[in-house]
Chain A
Amino acid sequence: MANENQQGTKTWQLALAWAWVGIPLTLGVIQTLINSMKLFQ
């Protein structure tokens, strides 16, 4: 574990970490936004 902690963060790791949380959140937000549009119909 100590060795692992000594490694710097690579760009792909950063992108993967953000995609891991960003993709489901974005999909959920889009779905909610579509449902919310019913207010203006």
Chain B
Amino acid sequence: MSFLDRSNTIAGPGFSRWMVPPAALCVHLCIGQAYAFSVFNLPMTKLIGISKSAPGDWNLPELGWIFSIGIFVLGFSAAIFGRWVEEGGPRRAMFTAALCWAIGFFISAFGVYIHNLWVIYFGYGLVGGCGLGIGYISPVSTLIKWFPDRPGMATGMAIMGFGGGAFIASPLSVWLMQKFSTPTHVGVAQTFIVMGAIYFVFMMVGAFIVRVPAPGWKPAGYTPPIQATKLITTNDVFVYDALKTPQFWLIWWVLCLNVTAGIGVIGQASAMSQEMFPGKVTVVAAAGFVGLMSLFNMGGRFCWASISDYIGRKNTYFVFMVLGFVLYCTVPTMGAIGSVTGFVLCFLIIISMYGGGFSTVPAYLKDMFGTRYVGAIHGWLITAWSMAGIFGPVLVNYIRQYNVTHGVPKADAYNVTMYIMAGLLVIGFICNLLVKAVDRRYHMRSETEAESSKLATAGQPA
């Protein structure tokens, strides 16, 4: 399979770097399906009963674990396979991701066919989750190398695809299930098979067109900085050395807290809008609100990461933390004065910053640790997402439940949560404030330096 080797993906002269973002989007648009997995939940509760749930059918909490396992495995597979992805090159990684993602769907289809949920946990959750993790980080460092002048915009474009994948997957899944459903089955297994096949082809197109720049390549008219600036290094840090730096863990917490604050409200947006504005926001309107939030989540990924190329990564996260704090503190007031417009605006901006947090972080890591192992370091950082996926929903759900059981009216039950989220952003602000340039002792030595150091050692008396 030499076709997959990094050496066979080196771009020749005249190759347009603008071919690389669509290659990255081929992968991210497919794995972004994970956000739309919930469309299968209800049909999968009726696999035996067909028209309604029957004894022996799975329930929603059991099915909810499929997505949770997938996201958890995403974080840890990105961390474990990060270095392999970096060294094997983007084509090998994209091919592996496509294989895992498609096989995950096929195993899940088998799980539906034999009605065994553990097979689906294994298929979509574990195998598909590895596809998610490898696919998520596969184009990151390649994009940064192709766009050294606009790294935020480049990675923002790919990670925007992950947010946008659900827009394609959701209607496609519903349409396929309608096509395959008969009076004797709901068509989930067939839909999984077709989607697995479509995603494999789509992702392979990305693997086919992706290229890495030739050594020493730079965009026309771009002069790389010779001297490192205060927060943008010209050196590289080895992946496992990066994990020893305080900067890595500070950025880990910045991402974790930003995601915790956002992810907690994403899952509850529909219920929250209806409970805070009883009689004003209907079920249909709340669904529209959720759709609008997902659009801002996607748009924020591209816009905020692109803005970070101009104002700097650290400043971008300062905006997320300060503006987020103000907006979370404003939400209870919007509820109290009954302003639906104000409430919606607050959450749309918050959710754009949630998306922006994901897309800006690869460029932040590149600024701190250099480009050489940025994909692998990003892989480790993604574990912050896995942790936030647990913290966020737990915080929102349990605090709301605690308030309701202690007699707080439903309309006010989310207020405490909003202030806690604002508090998390204050901690995130402090972590971001503490991020300074990485100490020189963590920098990888250049080949010339290593050579002269070797010679010096050889010349010393024993």
Query: Which residues does B use to contact A, with CB under 8 Å?
Result: 2-3, 8-16, 18-19, 22-23, 25-26, 29, 161, 164, 166-168, 170-171, 205, 209, 211, 284-289, 291-292, 294-295, 298, 344
* A-side interface residues, number (CB < 8 Å): 29
Contact A14 B18 (CB under 8 A): yes
Contact A9 B288 (CB under 8 A): no
For A9-41 the 0/1 string (1 means CB < 8 A from B) is 100011001101110110111011101111111
Residues of B contacting A38 with CB < 8 Å?
284-285, 287-288
Smallest CB-CB separation from A18: which chain B residue?
Answer: B22
CA distance A24 to B289 in the complex (A): 22
Query: Which residues does A use to contact B, with CB under 8 Å?
Result: 1-2, 5-9, 13-14, 17-18, 20-22, 24-25, 27-29, 31-33, 35-41
Known interface pairs A20-B205, A25-B29, A32-B295; A5-B211 also in contact (CB < 8 Å)? yes
- What's the A-B contact tally at a CB cutoff of 8 Å? 95
Which DSSP category, helix, strand, loop or mixed, fits chain A's interface? Answer: helix
Contact A29 B13 (CB under 8 A): no
Shortest B159–chain A CB gap in Å is: 13
Smallest CB-CB separation from A39: which chain B residue?
Answer: B288
Residues of B contacting A2 with CB < 8 Å?
8
CA distance A40 to B291 in the complex (A): 12
Contact of B11 among A5, A14, A39 (CB under 8 A): A5
Contact B11 A24 (CB under 8 A): no
Smallest CB-CB separation from B160: which chain A residue?
Answer: A25
Residues of B contacting A22 with CB < 8 Å?
22
Pick from B16, B168, B298 the residue with the most CB of A within 10 Å: B168
